[in-house]
Amino acid sequence: MECAASFSRQVRIGPSGFEGFDLVACQAVGEAQGVDRRVVALFLTYWEQGVLAAYDKQRDVENS
């Protein structure tokens, strides 16, 4: 989904870094691109997991 790439600016950042995506903002972005809000809500958890896995992998590489 191309709209997933648009979510890069719709993140929630906490003291430890990336915490997740802002659901309401991502739904608005998806809807503007013709993607149903329910589809965004369904897949958002998986996109977050992928970003967190990539972040953890990058951190491990940088710390080794």
pLDDT band at 58 (very low <50, low <70, confident <90, very high): confident
| The predicted structure's pLDDT at residue 24 | 92
Number of domains making up the chain: 1
pLDDT of the residue at 2 = 67
- What is the pLDDT at residue 56? 85
8-56 pLDDT per residue, tens: 778 888 887 778 889 999 999 999 999 999 999 999 989 889 888 988 8
pTM of the model: 0.72
What pLDDT score was predicted for residue 4? Answer: 66
- The answer to whether residues 41 and 22 touch, using CB atoms and an 8 Å cutoff, is no
Domain of residue 35, residue span: 2-63
Q: Which residue has the tokens 């369904």?
A: 42
Are 54 and 46 contacting, i.e. CB atoms less than 8 angstroms apart? no
- Please state, in angstroms and rounded to a whole number, the distance separating the CA atoms of residues 42 and 17: 23
